[in-house]
Amino acid sequence: MLVKRLKSVALVASAAVIAVTCFAIPNNAFAQGSAALSIVPRKNYTIEAGKTINDTLTIRNQDREQALNLTLRVVDFSYTDDSGVPKLMMDEDAPQTTWSLKSFLDIPQTVTIEPNSSQTIDMSLSVPEGHGAGGYYSAIVYSSAGADGGNVGLSASGVTLVFANIPGEVKENLELKKLGAYRDANTPTGGEYAYFHSNMPLRLAYTLKNEGNVPESPVGSITLKPLIGEEITIQDINPTSSLALIGQERTFVTCIKLKGQDSESTSRAEAASCVDPGLWPGYYKVSMTAYYGQNGNRTQDLVGTGGFWYLPWWFILIVTLVLAFVGYHVWRIVRYVRQKRGGVQLKKKTSLKKK
């Protein structure tokens, strides 16, 4: 109760002097459908070399008036930066990546879907005998053709990312590069790590470098421990099962506290919204314990530590005023003591002269 009262008093006092200003993680999905097109954004397979998997793709035309004439093609993709946004290699003469599935996927080149209806098409994935183990991926790009044969643009296009894991001896190597508090991506400088925060930090982040030959999805927890007070534990540091692609340095961002996490019924929107975690000013140690591995097996550990300072302006102002107050009174005490000593010494000198 005393701690809560002290915190309330501090907040009220600081509000009288300075206005304290205190952001939702952009969930970068790999792929999505347009307003007229509804597709499956991602396909995942485990397939042995020399085998074939037959599957289907369901495509829905959400336009109630016009039929959708789609052209399908398989392209490779990489990454644009340390986010989860893929970089599609759309050029016809784009070099094939080492992780490509282009020559293994068989899909129809065109399909027509009537208004407000769906259609299921066949697809197959065939891996030749003796192909090396590892993770492989490409993208199926859907585009609608206009009357002149050209694309009508993103209003009727979409992408399905296809991932295939070929069992065998693979190289798995995720390296933890950074760990700490993360500033909002909507700030003028963009999303970034920061050691000092004047506004309440809402997010933590960790950056991984994938030096292996398979995409990896980390699982684990992060603990936030203040110098004084109770620690906070984030149990799920990768709730969307996002991947670090081969060769990618990927930054994963997570909320310190989610909106509605204290409630039993939480909507999807609330699950993606960060709220004020109620941190006290001071230094916070960040510790991560995670693991990764193919097929969910705990094969490799990720352990690291970091830290940051949360020093809001109202706290700095209060500390400055307190230090100034203490310093002033210490100065007055020292001055008083010196004056007393000076007066005593003067009396001694006077008495000696009289003698």
Q: Judge whether 99 lies within some domain.
A: yes
User: By residue range, what is the domain housing residue 144?
Assistant: 37-165
Check if the beta carbon of residue 200 is closer than 8 Å to that of residue 312.
yes
Task: Report the pLDDT value the prediction gives residue 228, as an integer from 0 to 100.
Answer: 84
> What pLDDT score does 289 carry?
93
Residues 81 and 112 placed together within one structural domain of the fold: yes
| Final residue in a domain of this structure, among 311, 326, 342 | 311
Q: Are residues 152 and 210 in the same domain?
A: no
Q: Is the backbone of residue 188 left (phi > 0), alpha (psi -120 to 50) or beta?
A: alpha
Model pLDDT, residue 252: 93
Residue 72 lies in a domain: yes
Burial of 24 (C-beta count, 10 Å sphere; 0-12/13-18/19+): middle
State residue 87's pLDDT score: 87
Same domain, 292 and 254: yes
pLDDT of residue 15: 34
Total count of domains within the chain: 2
**Minimum mean pLDDT among 21-30, 154-163, 217-226, 308-317: which range?**
21-30
- What pLDDT is attached to residue 338? 82
CB 306 within 8 A of CB 205: no
Q: Is residue 177 part of a domain?
A: yes
DSSP string, 211-256: -SSS-B--EEEEEEEESSS--EEES-S-TT---B-TT-EEEEEEES
Q: What is the pLDDT of residues 269-317, one digit of tens each?
A: 444 688 899 899 999 999 999 999 875 445 788 999 999 999 999 988 9
Average pLDDT over residues 154-169: 80
Q: Domain boundary at 114, 135, 165, which?
A: 165
Q: Tell me what percent of the residues of the chain surpass a pLDDT of 70.
A: 76
Q: Cα torsion for 197, 200, 203, 208, to the nearest 10°?
A: 10
pLDDT on residue 261:
56
- Asked if 104 and 127 count as a contact pair (C-beta separation under 8 A), the reply is yes
* 267 pLDDT tier (thresholds 50, 70, 90): very low
Domain contains 326: no
Using pLDDT thresholds of 50, 70 and 90, give the confidence band for residue 186: low
Same domain, yes or no: 74 and 147: yes
List the CATH number of the domain containing 121: 2.60.40.10
106 band by pLDDT with thresholds 50, 70 and 90: very high
The mean-pLDDT minimum among 4-18, 52-66, 109-123 falls in 4-18
Is 353 inside any structural domain?
no
Measured distance CA(129)–CA(123) in Å, rounded: 20
Confidence grade of residue 43 (pLDDT, cut at 50, 70, 90): very high
- Give the pLDDT score at 274: 86
Q: Quick check: is 15 in a domain?
A: no
- State the alpha helices, DSSP H only, in 113-218: none
Contacts of 16 (CB under 8 A, 6+ apart): none
245 and 188 within one domain: yes
pLDDT at residue 346 in the model: 57
Residues 184 and 107 in one domain: no
Return the structure tokens found at 310: 């949360």
Asked if residue 302 is part of any domain, the answer here is yes
